Amino acid sequence: MSGRRGAAVAGLVLAAFAVVSTPAAAAPGGPAPGAIAAASTSGVGPTGRAADLVAQMTTAEQAASIVMGHVSGTDPEELRAYMEGGLGGFILMGANVPASEAELQTLTAALTIDPALPPLIAVDQEGGIVSRLHGDGYPASTVLKDMPVADTASAFAARGSLVARAGITVNFGTVADVAADPDSFIYGRALGTEPSGAAERVAAATTAQEQFLGSTLKHFPGHGAAPGDSHHAIPSTGMSLEEWRASDALPFVAGIDAGASLLMFGHLAYTAVDAAPASMSTKWHEIAREEMGFEGVSVTDDLGMLTSSGVPEYADPIANAVTAVATGNDLVLMIAGSTRETAGQMAGAIAAAVDAGTLPPERLEDAATRVMALRLQLSSATSAWTVCPDCTPAD
Residues designated catalytic: 231, 301
> Distance between CA atoms of 106 and 167, rounded to whole angstroms?
9
- How far CA 283 is from CA of 141, 147, 245, in Å, comes to 30, 36, 14
- One-letter-per-residue 3-state SS of the chain: CCCCCEEEECCEEEEEEEECCCCCCCCCCCCCCCHHHHHCCCCCCHHHHHHHHHHCCCHHHHHHHCEEECCCCCCHHHHHHHHCCCCCEEEECHHHCCCCHHHHHHHHHHCCCCCCCCCEEEECCCECCECCCCCCCCCCHHHHCCCCHHHHHHHHHHHHHHHHHCCCCEEEEEECCECCCCCCCCHHHCCECCHHHHHHHHHHHHHHHCCCCEEEEEEECCCCCCCCCCCCCCCEECCCHHHHHCCCHHHHHHHHHCCCCEEEECCCEECCCCCCCHHHCHHHHHHHHHHCCCCCEEEECCHHHHHCCCCHHHCCHHHHHHHHHHCCCCEEECCCCCCCCHHHHHHHHHHHHHHHCCCCHHHHHHHHHHHHHHHHHHHCCEEEEEECCCCCCCC
